[in-house]
Amino acid sequence: FFHNKLHNSVFLKTNWDKEYVGFATLPNQIHRNSVKKGFEFTLMVIGESGLGKSTLVNSLFLTDLYKDRKVLNAEGRLSQTVGITQKTVCIEEKGVKLKLNLVDTQGYGDTLNNQYSYKGISDYIDCQFEQYRKEEVGLERRHIRDNRVHCCLYFISPFGHGLRPLDVECMQALQDKVNIIPVLAKADCLTRDEVNKKKNRILSEIDEYMLKIYQFPDCESDEDEEFRRQDIEIKKSVPFAVIGSNKVVDINGRKVRVRVYPWGVVEVENPDHSDFVHLRNMLVRTHMQDLKDMTHDTHYERYRSQWLYKHQHTDEVGTSHTVTHTHTIFYSVHCFPLN
């Protein structure tokens, strides 16, 4: 009896091994390799000074990227030109490493004459596409640096009636180059009714001027109900009315980022107070990979196709084609482990 039982178990194991090829473990292999290499993401923020761009970024990624930043006075802003500043921060959370490249557009919209102030931003995005294209066709392709802008947070002032002419021109210039996500800055300056009215006004003007902003993909049929609910809330929040703060207080035993006013406290991560949580979930937890895919498959491919069409009758070796921009770029690297 024991011999027959052992024989049957060996027979069943042998049959199972024959039927099991093993490619079902491919997702696990890809996951291990991805975690080992780490991830990269480039975020650009556009908006005039004083709209809370740096504070919001620090709140989103729990970092302090602007501790050495010098704020210009009103006289300094008048003579300032648009400068592109890139900072890199290495973030680690539960063994997963993220290299975050933050591109700031200092001086945008701050001068008396803002005509073509977006030109340097457009040139910078093209420059990153060109750098990636050159490395892609080069001999050494194992370690291609990807500094292409994957997402652009465009900050809209809460003090106007909607989009300004500069906002429309800038979005039109960048809409075919980068994923634009409109953000209504400093939402704590407005009542809930005012926020809703401004959101509707901004969305109607986006349709009126046929501006292309990032379109969220539809949920897959196999997604769970929690993800579907979260996806609906994110889509309903556009443009995101946000609040940022670096001040952390203790409320009923929990650490909360807040803005303190004489009449009360505004919680940054409270969905009833702002769309900060929806924006963070979209950027980090649900749509970061889709933003990268859209950049590579749509915006970069459009640039690459235009480049090939323009140079189809020229020899790349004989003619040098470079994208130039005259704006200063500063680089700095910081590493912050997330607890």
pLDDT tens figures, 65-76: 656 665 555 555
CATH number at 61 reads 3.40.50.300
The predicted pLDDT at position 306 comes to 92
Which of 56-60, 86-90, 124-128, 157-161 tops mean pLDDT? 124-128
Percent pLDDT > 70 in the chain is 80
pLDDT of 1 over the 80 cut = no
Report the run of H or E that residue 335 belongs to, with start and end. strand 329-337
Q: How confident is the model at residue 4 (pLDDT cuts 50, 70, 90)?
A: low
Within a domain: residue 1?
Answer: no
Within a domain: residue 231?
Answer: yes
* Ranges of H-type helices in 42-99: 53-61, 74-78
Within a domain: residue 111?
Answer: yes
Within a domain: residue 13?
Answer: no
Which of 54-63, 228-237, 288-297 tops mean pLDDT? 288-297
The predicted pLDDT at position 13 comes to 47
Pairing state between β 151-156 and 96-106 = unpaired
DSSP state of 228: H
pLDDT of 93 over the 60 cut = yes
**124 close to 101: Cβ distance less than 8 angstroms:** no
The predicted pLDDT at position 314 comes to 61
Alpha-carbon gap, residue 277 to 179, rounded angstroms: 20
pLDDT of 110 over the 80 cut = no
Tokens 């060996």 locate to 10
Tokens of 332: 């700095």
The predicted pLDDT at position 10 comes to 45
Interhelix angle 165-174/119-136, rounded to 10 degrees, is 10
Alpha-carbon gap, residue 196 to 88, rounded angstroms: 35
Within a domain: residue 267?
Answer: yes
Q: What is this structure's pTM? A: 0.82
Within a domain: residue 26?
Answer: no
Q: For residue 103, what are the domain limits?
A: 40-337
Within a domain: residue 209?
Answer: yes
Tokens of 174: 């960048």
Cis bond before residue 271 (omega within 30° of 0): no
**68 close to 93: Cβ distance less than 8 angstroms:** no
Which residues, at least 6 apart from 137, have a Cβ–Cβ distance to it below 8 Å?
none
* Mean pLDDT score, 130-156: 89
Domain count, the chain: 1
Within a domain: residue 12?
Answer: no
Q: Give the residue among 227, 207, 211 at the shortest CA–CA distance from 219.
A: 227
Side-chain-side CA neighbours of residue 44 (13 Å): 26
